[in-house]
Structure 1
Amino acid sequence: NGVIRPCTVGEDGKPQPVQHVLELQEGLKKSQSAYKNDSDSD
């Protein structure tokens, strides 16, 4: 079992293993846009 796999954080806050590398890029875009929207409120 000692295999490390890339994952994203699911809706429930638990890690969800990704099936493809492009899933990591999709999650990054979502988190960056959410951060950008939060910082615009200053």
Structure 2
Amino acid sequence: MGKHESERPACPVCHGDGHLVISGDGAGNKKKELVPCTVCDGTGKS
């Protein structure tokens, strides 16, 4: 419960996950791919 945690809110893009789920090619491909969030560089913080 560090004070600095509240000063850095979760990344608005990945919501603190640190990664984004990219869904296939959009043509019915069910394959999901995890990629590091490009906004927070995988830290999960904004």
- Report 1 or 2 for greater relative contact order, CA contacts < 8 Å, sequence distance ≥ 6: 2
Pick the structure with more strand per residue.
Answer: 2
- TM-score, length-scaled by structure 1: 0.23
Pick the structure with more helix per residue.
Answer: 1
